[in-house]
Structure 1
Amino acid sequence: MMKQKFKKEEILQILSGIMVFISFFQAWIYDGGLNYYKGTELKTMLYDPPFLLNLIYLLLILGVANVYCGWNRKYNSALSSTTAIVVFFLLWSIVSFNSKSEDLVAANGFYMAAVGMITAVASILVARKERAKVGSETKGVNK
C-alpha cells in the first residue's frame, strides 16, 4: 500500500505547529541592551504581567498537536483555528504591554509565532477552498 501525498492544508498545519512550538523556546522581547527574554521569562520581567501571557504555555501543546495531526494526514480545522486565536491573543497582549515602553523590541519568538498564526489561518482557507472544490465536483457528478 502506497502512502498518499500530503494535502496542502496538512503541510500548512505541520509548518504552523513547528513555528509555534519552536517560538516558545526563542527570545520574544529584546530590551535594546544585551537582554533577550524568552517566552517563559516574560512574566518575571514585568511588574504586572497580563493574564493572557499564560497562553505562552499552550504553544507547546498546540505546536505538537498541529504537527501530529498534519503528519498523520488528519487535518483538524478546529485545532488550526484554536492555534490562530491563541497566538493572536498572546501576540496582542505582548504588543499591548510592549507599547508602554519604547525600549522593548519584538524578537525571533514573537515573529515565529506570528508566522505560525498566519500559516494556521492559511491552512483553514486552503481547506475551505478544497472542500468547496470537492463539493462543486460532486454536484456536477450528481446531475
Structure 2
Amino acid sequence: MRQKFKKEEILQILSGIMVFISFFQAWIYDGGLNYFYGPELKRMLYDPPFLINLVYWLLILGAANVFFGWSRKYNGLLAGATAVVVFLFLKTIVDFNSQSEKLSAANGFYMAGVGMIAAVASILVARKERLASNTGTKDVNK
C-alpha cells in the first residue's frame, strides 16, 4: 500500500504545476486586444534583458518539481532553485512593465507567483518537520 503524500511533496507538486502552466499563459496585457505569452516576450522587445531567457526554465523546473513531488522524493534544492528563478523572472517582468502605463501583468505572471510561494512554503514545511523530528530523537536519546 502506498503511503500518503507529505505536505512538502504536495506543495512541490503544486509549485511545479503552477510554474509549468504559467509558461503557456499570457504574461503581459497591453490594454487593447493583445496578450503576450511566455515565448513571445523575447520577440516583442527590441533589446530584451538577459533574464527574459529564464522563461524557458519554467518548463524544466515545473516538470522536475512535479516529477520529484509525485515520486515522493522531495528535493529542497530544486524547490529553492525554482523560487529563485521565478523571482528573477518576475522581477524582470515588473521592471519591463514599469516602463509603460498601458502594460499590466496577466495570468502567467500570477500563476508563476503562486508557484514561487508554494516552493518557498515547501522549503519551510520541510525544515519545520525536520526540526521537529530532530528534537523528537533528542528527547528519546536523553
The TM-score range, normalised by the shorter chain, is: over 0.9
Deviation at 1:64, TM superposition (A): 0.5
What is the root-mean-square deviation in Å for CA atoms of aligned residues?
Answer: 0.5
- Find the aligned partners of 1:18 and 1:31 in 2 and give their Cα distance: 26
Question: Matched residues in 2 for 1:40 and 1:124: separation?
Answer: 29
Paired amino acid for 1:89 = L
Helix, strand or coil: the match of 1:25?
A: coil
Q: Structure 1: which 5+ runs fail to align?
A: none
Inter-partner Cα distance in structure 2 for 1:63 and 1:43: 20
Number of paired residues? 142
Match of 1:111 in 2: 110
Q: 1:12 is matched by which residue type in structure 2?
A: L
Q: Which amino acid aligns with 2:57?
A: L
Superposed CA deviations along residues 20-57 of structure 1, whole A, max 9, x for unmatched, are 00000000000000000001001111111110000000
Q: Does 1:67 align with 2:70?
A: no
Distance across 1 between alignment mates of 2:132 and 2:113: 29
Q: Percent identity?
A: 75
Return the alpha-carbon distance in structure 1 between the equivalents of residues 96 and 48 of structure 2.
8
- Separation (CA, whole Å) in 2 of partners of 1:106 and 1:50: 17
Matches within 5 A, 1:43-82: 43-82=42-81
Q: State the partner residue of 1:87.
A: 86
User: Residue type matched to 1:102 in 2?
Assistant: E
Q: Distance in 1 between matches of 2:84 and 2:128?
A: 20
- Answer yes or no: is 1:123 the counterpart of 2:102: no
**5+ residue gaps in structure 2?**
none
Amino acid of the structure 2 residue aligned with 1:107: A
TM-score between the two structures when normalised by the length of structure 2: 0.99
Partner of 1:23: 22
Task: Note the alpha carbon deviations across 1:88-122, whole angstroms, 9 max, x for none.
Answer: 00000110111011110000000000000000000
**Normalising by structure 1, what TM-score?**
0.98
SS at match of 1:129: helix
Letter of the structure 1 residue corresponding to residue 87 of structure 2: F
2:59 and 2:139 map into 1 onto residues whose CA distance is 43
